Amino acid sequence: MHAENQPLHLRNVRLPQDEEPTDIHIADGRIRAIGGQSAPDPGDEEIDARGALLLPGFIDSHCHVDKTMWGGPWTAHTAGPDVADRIANERERRFDVGYPSGNRIRALLEQMSNSGTTHIRTHTDVDPDVGLRGMEEVAAAAAAMVGRIDVQQVAFPQQGVVTRPGTASLLRDAVEMGATAIGGVDPAGFDDDPIGQLKAIFGLACDLDSEIDIHLHDPGELGMWQVKAIIDWTRRTGMEGRVTISHAFCLGTTPAVEAAGVLDGLAETRISLTTAAVFSKPVLPVRTLFEAGINLGCGSDGIRDLWSPYGNGDMLERAMFVAYRNDLRRDEDIELALGAATYNGARILGLEAYGLEVGCAADMVLVPARNLAEAVVAHPQRALVVKNGRIIVNNFN
Amino acid sequence: MHAENQPLHLRNVRLPQDEEPTDIHIADGRIRAIGGQSAPDPGDEEIDARGALLLPGFIDSHCHVDKTMWGGPWTAHTAGPDVADRIANERERRFDVGYPSGNRIRALLEQMSNSGTTHIRTHTDVDPDVGLRGMEEVAAAAAAMVGRIDVQQVAFPQQGVVTRPGTASLLRDAVEMGATAIGGVDPAGFDDDPIGQLKAIFGLACDLDSEIDIHLHDPGELGMWQVKAIIDWTRRTGMEGRVTISHAFCLGTTPAVEAAGVLDGLAETRISLTTAAVFSKPVLPVRTLFEAGINLGCGSDGIRDLWSPYGNGDMLERAMFVAYRNDLRRDEDIELALGAATYNGARILGLEAYGLEVGCAADMVLVPARNLAEAVVAHPQRALVVKNGRIIVNNFN
């Protein structure tokens, strides 16, 4: 058993850029030294990593842990085929299936942590029926998991802002109780008042000094028009670098995103995007966005909830989905998908001291893989997970 | 250690259709009894399955084990973006990377077997450069794996039939040395002589009493025209029930397959289809095909080869891809994808005594899942794999 503050000395770790394995010294939750020179101190916990590949902790930058039924009874899916059907079905059934459940949220956070995720941004439903109970349950589960996984909440108006009176003031309350971002959902296609929703959420975010994260499922021209509107509102309100658009299926091919002429606008306003590569929905074009300097994160989206029974919180498997759906086959392209689940996500969450340098927080994962591309395509069992310098999973034993 | 012919008594197994667990008695490679009445005989190996779910052995009805680099060095992908680029790249590089390698084929067969696959149909390259060496290496690896996994080979003209003179006579030789089917590849879009290729392969198949399995990547109208031509040639040559079309991206949506008016033709000629749900290629519409009475199998396609670094031979994960890409969320729909990786594949391979009834071959997998839908979405580690009544994997220990 690794004691809470015991320094950790990892031998024979392979850094992604190096051929030869090296040693890593961890103390007080930070990476203190990299390199074979530093011998372990007496009292260090020593682990021989046997050449396993070192990755930074995974960042799930778009999930919905409040809704999960992880660890609960199997709940067969019943919703109709469209987003609006799923929202209506969820609204009807969610309290019957026990939403929101602190036990299930905590079970899922444990699962995520065990798979190497060290930070998440989760969208928590906020509406007049559930009020702030989802926020409270997630906050309580996160508190119970302190030191294992860091949780940021987005106050998410799943049922709309304009069409659900009372939601806007709850979003304000949610930020005041700790949400770091205000969410939005299909301002046109679902809320039926795009400018009304954007005005409300940008107003709140400016007022409360919070970030914004808008779920945009609307396809094609309707989606694209809203991307342009979000760029416009970001500029107008001085929110550059503080806005994320999630899903953005309308941008889901290289020709679509190029033809729309939005690449420059997204890059200039430093709007991030997130993708979960769900189902057969268009998946954001990883290489095109990278070359345009647009930050793309990656997340699980829903995990075993009333939207679908899929998902397991494994960000390495999710990066594989993103790479596979993008037809990324070359090593350097596959690595971009892993970047979405690590460094790019850290940028969205505003993490400081994230990475594999001396001085960074010791949030890391070791996997049996020869290189980053293999880590993604094989998404193997985690050999070691370390969070804040503390061992979460150790399969070297 | 389970002795070769030792009878096996599994307690507390859950059959997919039952709530309560039951016992299964296995002897001489067959399921001999299902139900709690039959007490274990002295000398039986007994295993407590602790309520794990029983599935039949998985059938990979479309793979390419001859090409694999499984267990070999990491080989970065270098091909261009199109099918023709990949064929040319493979032709250039394959001998340099050690193709065909019996050791790698065997390593992959072990991996497949360990994940619960009990039978495969693999497409082995046959062309004037490699000759029949791929066939021989696969046959030798399969012989070394007898009792663990059953291997059927398709003699596959990856480089074309018409455009690669000498291939047709090699296909004949391949069938004579044991291939059970003659392959084809994009008769129009790659071989540039659709009728020439169909005439050649249907002629050979009729002459040699073998099956046919055609890889059809050609999209849209060009693909659809070939589906109709294949239906026509199947009727003309009396090959009903003996032809498979693999990939068939052109049929990859419900509107496309319905609009083309080919559902009846495929059903009447009992042509099977296979899908691997690869990349972002259109995936065959599982429910539409099921309702039309068309048999759909599922396979891995290439696994870590010069076509792509992806794949692991896990058919439960592959069934999840097929279900996920089809947007199947209801239990009864997700079960159809599992059917593609089990019973439907068995139909393509012409297996007798396949299934979970008394008298069937004891080829089975136990997984920790509450029902078939959960087995697919969670694709958990296999608890037990049994092939021909012999324990291949036992994680109950």
The DSSP bridge pattern shows strands B8-13 and B150-156 to be unpaired
- Is residue A240 a contact partner of residue A233, using CB atoms and an 8 Å limit? no
Please list, in sequence order, all residues whose beta carbon lies within 8 angstroms of the beta carbon of residue A307, skipping any fewer than 6 positions away. Answer: A64, A67, A79, A86, A90, A301
Domains A8-57+354-394 and A58-349 share a fold: no
Put simply, the answer to whether A326 touches B280 (Cβ < 8 Å) is yes
Identify the closest residue of chain A to B284 by CA–CA distance: A280
Put simply, the answer to whether A74 touches B326 (Cβ < 8 Å) is no
Active-site option among A62, A123, A247, A379: A247
Q: Which of B310, B325, B373 sits opposite A309 (nearest CB)?
A: B373
- pLDDT value of position A253: 87
- Is residue B286 a contact partner of residue B248, using CB atoms and an 8 Å limit? no
pLDDT (tens digit per residue) in B327-349:
999 999 999 999 999 999 999 99
Pick from B55, B134, B149: nearest CA to B94 = B134
Token pair 């396949």 is found at B354
- Is residue A386 a contact partner of residue A59, using CB atoms and an 8 Å limit? no
Q: Does residue B277 sit in helix, strand or coil?
A: coil
- pLDDT value of position A36: 66
Interface test with B, best of A90, A280, A379 (most B CBs within 10 A): A280
Q: Is the pLDDT of residue A78 over 60?
A: yes
- Is residue A263 a contact partner of residue A284, using CB atoms and an 8 Å limit? no
Identify the closest residue of chain A to B377 by CA–CA distance: A310
For residue B327, the distance in angstroms to the closest alpha carbon of chain A comes to: 5
- The H or E element spanning position B203 is helix B194-208
Distance CA B352, CA B160 (A): 33
Distance CA B128, CA B170 (A): 8
Over its length of 397 residues, how does chain B's per-residue pLDDT go in tens digits? Answer: 566 679 999 999 999 999 899 999 999 999 999 986 667 888 899 999 999 999 999 999 999 999 999 999 999 999 999 999 999 999 999 999 999 999 999 999 999 999 999 999 999 999 999 999 999 999 999 999 999 999 999 999 999 999 999 999 999 999 999 999 999 999 999 999 999 999 999 999 999 999 999 999 999 999 999 999 999 999 999 999 999 999 999 999 889 898 889 999 999 999 999 999 999 999 999 999 999 999 999 999 999 999 999 999 999 999 999 999 999 999 999 999 999 999 999 999 999 999 999 999 999 999 999 999 999 999 999 999 999 999 999 999 7
Identify the closest residue of chain B to A380 by CA–CA distance: B312
- pLDDT value of position A260: 85
Distance CA B291, CA B311 (A): 29
pLDDT (tens digit per residue) in A196-224:
999 999 999 999 999 999 999 999 999 99
CATH architecture for segment(s) A8-57+354-394: Roll (2.30)
In three-state form (DSSP H/G/I as H, E/B as E, the rest C), the secondary structure along chain A is CCCCCCCEEEEEEECCCCCCCEEEEEECCEEEEECCCCCCCCCCEEEECCCCEEEECEEEEEECHHHCCCCCCCCCCCCCCCHHHHHHHHHHHCCCCCCCCHHHHHHHHHHHHHCCEEEEEEEEECECCCECHHHHHHHHHHHHCCCCCEEEEEEECCCCCCCCCCHHHHHHHHHHCCCCEEEEECCCCCCCCHHHHHHHHHHHHHHHCCEEEEEECCCHHHHHHHHHHHHHHHHHCCCCCCEEEEECHHHCCHHHHHHCCCHHHHHHCCCEEEECCCCCCCCCCHHHHHHCCCCEEECCECCCECCECCCCCCHHHHHHHHHHHCCCCCHHHHHHHHHHCCHHHHHHHCCCCCCCCCCCECCEEEECCCCHHHHHHHCCCCCEEEECCEEEEECCC
Band of pLDDT at residue A4, cut at 50, 70 and 90 = low
Q: What is the pTM of this model?
A: 0.97
- Is residue B124 a contact partner of residue B91, using CB atoms and an 8 Å limit? no
Q: Which of A74, A320, A378 sits opposite B370 (nearest CB)?
A: A74
pLDDT (tens digit per residue) in A334-347:
999 999 999 999 99
Neighbouring-strand partners of residue B55: B365
Put simply, the answer to whether A374 touches B308 (Cβ < 8 Å) is no
Q: Is the pLDDT of residue A37 over 80?
A: no
- pLDDT value of position B80: 93
Q: Which CATH number fits domain B8-57+353-394: 2.30.40.10, 3.40.50.720, 3.40.50.2000, 1.20.1250.20?
A: 2.30.40.10
Put simply, the answer to whether A304 touches B78 (Cβ < 8 Å) is no
Put simply, the answer to whether B330 touches A77 (Cβ < 8 Å) is yes
Q: Identify the burial level of A20 via C-beta atoms within 10 angstroms of its C-beta, where 0-12 means exposed, 13-18 middle and 19 or more buried.
A: exposed
- The residues spanned by each domain of chain A are 8-57+354-394, 58-349
Distance CA B28, CA B348 (A): 25
Kindly report the CATH number that applies to the domain delimited by B58-349.
3.20.20.140
Pick from A231, A313, A300: nearest CA to A272 = A231
Q: Which two tokens stand for residue A358?
A: 């001396």
Token pair 């969320």 is found at B329
Which chain B residues have a beta carbon less than 8 Å from that of A311? Answer: 377
Q: Which two tokens stand for residue A275?
A: 């993708």
What is the ipTM metric for this complex?
0.96
Active site residues of B: 247
The DSSP bridge pattern shows strands A58-63 and B390-394 to be unpaired
With pLDDT > 90 as the criterion, what percentage of chain A qualifies?
93
Q: Identify the burial level of A84 via C-beta atoms within 10 angstroms of its C-beta, where 0-12 means exposed, 13-18 middle and 19 or more buried.
A: middle
